[in-house]
């Protein structure tokens, strides 16, 4: 049997399916916590489970966003670039919910106490700084923003994501008091992702004709 030829219109459906699949998968952690609250299955301290879980997912999405470019350069996978913006926005979304959960469940919107906490506990200070770095990135994630800023300026601004990654891991390290294994795992992952970028840039610098 002759293989069916696919028209360009059919090919264009593929990114759409990929994006739909990634969107649904990315929303699942939220569904998991909503279900957990409903079913009372989040353990003895559900508030801590929610705040920590949302923070972990924010970091997971941040690292996934940072993985798209190295995957293109080293594995020649271009599909992660199609979902990079969505992953970045999910990182911001989960970070916002993480912040909301802290403001609401931890602090009951007691603003003087929140301000005191930001100055008193370094891991909260670093968490806030990370969130503030993510804000302009999320706000300039549209095609319109890229056009208005111009690609070179937009790219320069979006380099803040590296600093956000470093600060997010530092926030995790500072929060943990005893078992450092998980934050260490994230630190190794982040170092690998940033290291691969550095290797690629060095390589490009030596052979400027490569894309
Ligand atoms: C917006 C400001 C932020 C505040 C106020 C904040 C606050 C907190 C708090 C209260 C905890 C739990 C501490 C505990 O249970 O003792 C936590 C944990 C955590 N946060 Fe944040 N955070 C912020 C931003 C972020 C951001 C932007 C990220 C990642 C992109 C992040 C990632 C994490 C991670 C990974 C944990 C540890 C989760 C675990 O223990 O499994 N946080 N944060």
Placement of tokens 């079913």 in the chain = 39
CA dihedral 5, 78, 25, 62 (to 10 degrees): -170
CA distance 92 to 94: 6
Contact 106 CB / ligand 1 (< 6 Å)? yes
The phi-psi region of residue 207 (left if phi > 0; otherwise alpha if psi is between -120 and 50; otherwise beta) is beta
pLDDT in tens, the chain (211 residues): 454 555 545 555 578 999 999 999 999 999 999 999 999 999 999 999 999 999 999 999 999 999 999 999 999 999 999 999 999 999 999 999 999 999 999 999 999 999 999 999 999 999 999 999 999 999 999 999 999 999 999 999 999 999 999 999 999 999 998 999 999 999 999 999 999 999 999 988 887 665 5
Q: Model's pTM, two decimal places?
A: 0.91
Delimit the domains of the chain by residue range: 8-206
Contact 168 CB / ligand 1 (< 6 Å)? yes
CA distance 90 to 7: 32
Is the Cβ–Cβ distance between 61 and 89 less than 8 Å? no
Expressed in angstroms and rounded, the spacing between residue 28 Cα and the centre of ligand 1 is 19
Contact 117 CB / ligand 1 (< 6 Å)? no
Contact 88 CB / ligand 1 (< 6 Å)? no
Best substitution site from 124, 127, 165 to test ligand 1's pocket, by max atoms within 8 Å of Cβ? Answer: 127
């Amino acid at each position: 049997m002759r293989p069916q030829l696919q028209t360009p219109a059919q090919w264009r459906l593929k990114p759409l399916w990929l994006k739909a699949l990634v969107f649904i998968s990315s929303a699942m952690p939220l569904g998991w916590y909503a279900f957990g609250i409903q079913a009372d299955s989040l353990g003895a301290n559900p508030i801590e489970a929610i705040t920590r879980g949302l923070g972990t997912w924010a970091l997971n999405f941040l690292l996934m966003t940072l993985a798209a470019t190295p995957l293109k350069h080293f594995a020649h996978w271009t599909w992660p670039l199609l979902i990079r913006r969505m992953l970045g926005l999910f990182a911001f979304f989960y970070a916002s919910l993480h912040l909301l959960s802290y403001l609401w469940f931890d602090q009951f919107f007691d603003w003087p106490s929140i301000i005191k906490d930001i100055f008193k506990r370094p891991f909260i200070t670093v968490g806030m700084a990370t969130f503030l770095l993510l804000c302009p990135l999320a706000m300039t994630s549209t095609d319109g923003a890229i056009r208005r800023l111009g690609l070179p300026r937009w790219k320069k601004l979006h380099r803040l994501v590296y600093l956000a990654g470093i600060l997010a891991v530092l926030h995790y390290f500072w929060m943990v008091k005893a078992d450092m294994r998980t934050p260490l795992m994230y630190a190794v992952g982040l170092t690998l992702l940033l290291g691969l970028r550095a290797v690629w840039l060095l390589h490009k610098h030596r052979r400027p004709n490569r894309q």
